[in-house]
């Protein structure tokens, strides 16, 4: 399909790297497409998303609701569908799983599967500032200052940031491992983990494994799903397909067949 698409990632300042994975921008104009659909799957990484609606189309939910110009997307445990016109300009932040709890001082479970406007979470003029910015580089400067101010006001001690930043294979650990590592009861660990990330520890691990499946399927050399299922430690192929479908709304076969035109985290774009 002819048209222009530009997706970029930007490295955050060192001060923010414990809470921000990266900043990103996604700009596209696809004249031949009538609509662009956004299929979002389960995702443990929260996001801030700003959409430039002055010159481009807005994101609409399947029920027709227009998403705010600047909103927070908490951790997702299921799949959703949204659509927009054939031209868009988005700027966003991909957060670490525990970031919203620290930045806004709230229970992250309240934001699971939710997409509130940024102004519903805090008093700020950031939305207007992002709209007035000349380019995405200016938006990085604005959001960096906003996040640094937020962090300077929060004084929450917890084992979770240390754990997230030092355990890249977090999905392979268990509550019993955490109990030995941090000397909290398993109940305390589960409660604080869900408050920080919005997900139970078990759900978090399952979504980690689902994300691995997406990566493998997107660049798959697997000739059969059975080998992929076993590599991901599923007991059998049917269990893998059932789990994948619960998080994506489609089977692994369907995901492979549907050619997307772009992606950000666990959200994929398709044209119509």
Percentage above 70 pLDDT, the chain: 92
Give the model's pLDDT for residue 166: 63
Query: pLDDT of 181-227, one tens digit each?
Result: 777 788 888 898 899 999 998 999 999 999 999 998 887 666 678 88
Give the model's pLDDT for residue 182: 72
Those residues with Cβ within 8 angstroms of residue 103's Cβ, 6 or more apart along the chain or in another chain: 19, 95, 147, 150, 151, 154
Given a contact cutoff of 8 angstroms between Cβ atoms, the answer to whether 10 and 35 are in contact is no
Those residues with Cβ within 8 angstroms of residue 20's Cβ, 6 or more apart along the chain or in another chain: 12, 93, 94, 95, 96, 99, 147
Please state, in angstroms and rounded to a whole number, the distance separating the CA atoms of residues 67 and 148. 26
Mean pLDDT value of segment 23-47 = 93
Give the model's pLDDT for residue 26: 97
**Where would I find the H helices in 219-268?**
225-231, 237-248, 252-257
Model confidence at 98, pLDDT cuts 50, 70, 90, reads very high
Give the model's pLDDT for residue 214: 93
Rounded to the nearest integer, the mean pLDDT of the chain is 89
Model confidence at 246, pLDDT cuts 50, 70, 90, reads very high
Give the model's pLDDT for residue 113: 97
The 8-class DSSP code of residue 59 comes to P
Given a contact cutoff of 8 angstroms between Cβ atoms, the answer to whether 147 and 19 are in contact is yes
Q: What predicted TM-score, i.e. pTM, was given to this entire model?
A: 0.91
Calculate the alpha carbon distances from 217 to 77, 231, 235, 251 in Å.
20, 12, 18, 11
Q: Which residue has the higher pLDDT, 4 or 118?
A: 118
Please state, in angstroms and rounded to a whole number, the distance separating the CA atoms of residues 217 and 229. 11
Please state, in angstroms and rounded to a whole number, the distance separating the CA atoms of residues 259 and 128. 35
Query: pLDDT of 140-168, one tens digit each?
Result: 999 999 999 998 877 666 777 777 766 55
3-state DSSP helix/strand/coil % of the chain, to nearest 5: 40, 20, 35
């Amino acid at each position: 399909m002819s048209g222009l698409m530009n997706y970029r990632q930007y490295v955050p300042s060192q001060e923010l790297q414990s809470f921000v994975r990266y900043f990103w921008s996604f700009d596209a104009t696809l004249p031949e497409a009538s609509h662009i659909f956004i299929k979002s799957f389960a995702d443990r990484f929260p996001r801030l998303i700003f959409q430039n609606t002055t010159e481009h189309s807005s994101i609409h939910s399947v029920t027709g609701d227009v998403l705010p110009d600047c909103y927070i997307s908490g951790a997702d445990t299921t799949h959703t569908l949204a659509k927009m016109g054939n031209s868009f300009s988005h700027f966003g932040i991909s957060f670490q799983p525990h970031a919203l709890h620290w930045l806004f001082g709230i229970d992250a479970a309240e934001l699971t599967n939710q997409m509130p406007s940024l102004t519903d979470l805090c008093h700020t003029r950031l939305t207007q500032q992002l709209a007035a910015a000349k380019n995405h580089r200016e938006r990085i400067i604005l959001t960096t200052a906003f996040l640094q101010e937020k962090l300077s006001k929060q004084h929450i001690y917890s084992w979770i940031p240390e754990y997230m930043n030092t355990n890249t294979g977090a999905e392979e650990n268990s509550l019993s491992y955490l109990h030995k590592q941090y000397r909290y009861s398993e109940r305390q660990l589960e409660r604080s983990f869900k408050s920080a990330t919005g997900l139970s520890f078990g759900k978090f691990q399952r979504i980690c494994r689902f994300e691995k499946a997406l990566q493998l399927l997107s660049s798959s050399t697997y000739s059969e799903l059975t080998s992929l299922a076993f590599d991901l430690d599923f007991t059998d192929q049917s269990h893998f397909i059932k789990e994948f479908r619960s998080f994506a709304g489609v089977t692994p076969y369907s995901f492979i067949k549907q050619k997307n035109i772009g992606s950000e985290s666990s959200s994929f774009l398709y044209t119509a």
